[in-house]
Amino acid sequence: MIDPFSNYLHRSAGQHGPVMLMYHSVTPGSSHPDWPWAVSMQSFRDQLDLLAEGNWATPTMTELVATPEKWTARTAVITFDDGYVDNLAAWEELQKRGMRATWFMVSGSVGREPSWPADGRPAGRLLNAAELRTMQASGMEVGSHTANHVRLTQADDKLLSAELNDSKAALEDALGSEISSFAYPYGAWDARCASAVRESGYRAACTTRTGWALRDDDPYLLRRLTVFNTDTAGSLARKLYFGSHEVSWPAVARYAMQRLTSRMRP
């Protein structure tokens, strides 16, 4: 159950085109995780139920980009960055509801603990190749998140090319299928990075900028909405409506007041 006002907004959500949702870790239980980029399993289930009950389509990122005209209202691309092993339970929940998602994997850490500096992220390994193949066979997509989770805007041209090409080649070798989707680590990108992603053979890339997914009309600059540890089904409903992270009750109140004021003007 969500609050009546969020439910009211949700009934009108999706009119501006597809959205993309960004998850990372899904932890067992119902308590809020400490890591901002993790959600509890109970919150994740509630959020998936919101999408299912609202008849949101959940294509993969490749499907969205290949036929954007097909995915108009009520489309939410669900994505996971990094690929923590706790995502297996999230995959099972998606399967139960007939939903699909896209996983962006750091190829150099597949099947083992992440190699990049820790920031409070979950302990343990990432998904391994066998698990990814099983997920892929069930309709999920696997994309690239570089070879070593580097901040691409700080990489020279040689490292930038290696991070993109080595990851693509390693994942394709492990999974036996083309890797066409990419997510910029840390959301860090610039024109040079976007050009390098395209030249490396990827067909699309997503950022962490908020807004409707296709707002920029550029498949290498797709926008996403982050799902944080404090998000509930209600706050997700408001994010789907506004296409923004600014969905706290004070922010919603300001929006409502602005709408009311504009209607009262002669």
In order of 33, 68, 119, 228, the CA distances from 186 in angstroms are: 20, 26, 12, 15
Q: Which two tokens stand for residue 112?
A: 């083992």
Tell me the per-residue pLDDT of 102-159, one tens digit each, with 9 for 90 and over.
999 999 999 999 999 998 999 999 999 999 999 999 999 999 999 999 999 999 999 9
Whole-number Å distance between alpha carbons of 249 and 154: 37
Q: For residue 168, give every residue at least 6 positions away whose Cβ sits within 8 Å of its Cβ, in sequence order, or none.
A: 144, 179, 200, 201, 202
Handedness of CA 251, 225, 32, 35 (dihedral sign): negative
Q: Hunting for tokens 């066409």 — which residue is that? A: 180
Q: b/e map of 167-184 (b: 16 or more CB within 10 Å)?
A: bbbbbbebbeeebbbbbb
Give the closest residue to 160 by CA, choosing from 191, 132, 133.
191
Helix (H) / strand (E) element for 256: namely helix 249-264
Tell me the per-residue pLDDT of 36-47, one tens digit each, with 9 for 90 and over.
999 999 999 999
Q: Which domain holds residue 20?
A: 4-264
**CB distance 88 to 131 below 8 Å:** yes
pLDDT at 263 over 80: no
Q: What is the CA radius of gyration of the chain?
A: 18
CATH for 216? 3.20.20.370
3-state DSSP helix/strand/coil % of the chain, to nearest 5: 40, 15, 45
Q: What confidence category does residue 251 fall into, taking pLDDT thresholds of 50, 70 and 90?
A: confident
Least confident of 5-9, 103-107, 252-256: 252-256
Number of domains in the chain: 1
Mean pLDDT, the chain, as a whole number? 96
pLDDT at 265 over 90: no
**CB distance 171 to 142 below 8 Å:** yes
Q: What is the pTM of this model?
A: 0.96
